[in-house]
Amino acid sequence: MSVLATALRDSLRTLRLSGILETLDARLTQAQKGELGHLDFLQVLCQDEITRRESVALERRVRRAKFEQQATLEGFGFNASPKLPAAQIRDLAALRWLHSGESIILFGPVGVGKTHVAQALGHQAIRQGANVRFAKTSRILAELADGHADCTWYKRMRALIRPDVLILDDFAMRQLTASQADDLYELVSERSGRSLIITSNRAPSDWYPLFPNPVVAESLLDRLINAGHQVIMNGPSYRPNKRPKNPTDRIDKPPAG
């Protein structure tokens, strides 16, 4: 390696341009073969660095999202049931709702793929540079309850308000306490203009009785339901299709759960 090449590599390390370092030898070979002019050589090196930085940023946002699984729409079984609203889900993949600060409500029976689709839409948003957070609704409520106990409620709430997309999985699973209802109201109110994705086994019309205060319920759910895209997901459970095949299982054995 020439002294000039060594100095160049040292300079790139100092500038933290490791993307260029990773492809430098290949690009130099292209230049020496006459495949790249001076400006082309500089341009492709810069693009290599941009690509590396985008890839690192994408991986960082995916980690911060705390998904249960790396779900994508490409990996979803749209053909599992003719009742699935495939066209509506694919339309949501265009992310117009994200740019408008709108929310999505995915509801239907257990196992039809609501959580998969929610995470897939979150992953789609991350690809476009958005920050996403995924969590079970019960976990969010527990975090905020702990915040009341240790005086960190405002800090915890700010962390939930910050993401461009907040995914609340398993919403409206059970009766809420007055404190939980108030926390949800504050969260939804403070996130006005920022997108929520909600999954639920209950239809939105069935959420109202779960709130102890009808005034809080009306105000909160009006914000969610009237400003959101409602996606009814129906059909047989998607989960049996994802179970590992066991040759020892009997053919007539019913699915677990």
Q: Can you give the pLDDT of all 257 residues of the chain as single tens digits?
A: 555 567 777 777 777 776 777 777 787 788 778 887 778 878 888 888 888 888 888 899 999 999 998 899 988 888 877 788 999 999 999 999 999 999 999 999 998 999 999 999 999 999 999 999 999 999 999 999 999 999 999 999 999 999 999 999 999 999 999 999 999 999 999 998 899 999 999 999 999 999 999 999 999 888 888 878 999 998 766 555 555 455 444 434 433 33
The backbone region for 256, taken as left when phi is positive above 0, alpha when psi lies in -120 to 50, beta otherwise, is beta
Nearest to 183 by CA among 225, 226, 148, 231: 148
- Cβ burial, residue 104 (10 Å; 0-12/13-18/19+): buried
pLDDT at 98: 95
d(CA 17, CA 12): 5
Residues 144, 183: contact at Cβ < 8 Å?
yes
Residues 238, 109: contact at Cβ < 8 Å?
no
**Beta-ladder partners of 104:** 197, 229
Alpha helices in 103-208 (DSSP H): 114-127, 137-150, 153-161, 178-190
pLDDT at 104: 96
Encoded amino acid at 173, one letter: M
Answer CATH for 73-241 from 3.30.70.120, 3.40.50.300, 2.60.260.20, 3.40.50.2000: 3.40.50.300
User: What are the structural domain ranges in the chain?
Assistant: 3-65, 73-241
pLDDT at 2: 59
Look up residue 138 and give its two tokens.
């019960």
d(CA 137, CA 183): 11
Residues 172, 178: contact at Cβ < 8 Å?
no
Which 3 state secondary structure label does DSSP give 167? strand
> Rounded to 10 degrees, what is the CA torsion of 195, 204, 230, 114?
80
Q: Tokens 């948003």 belong to which residue?
A: 125
Q: Tokens 């994508």 belong to which residue?
A: 72
Residues near 173 by beta carbon (within 8 Å), at least 6 away in sequence: 137, 138, 200, 201
DSSP-derived letter for residue 85 is -
pLDDT at 202: 94
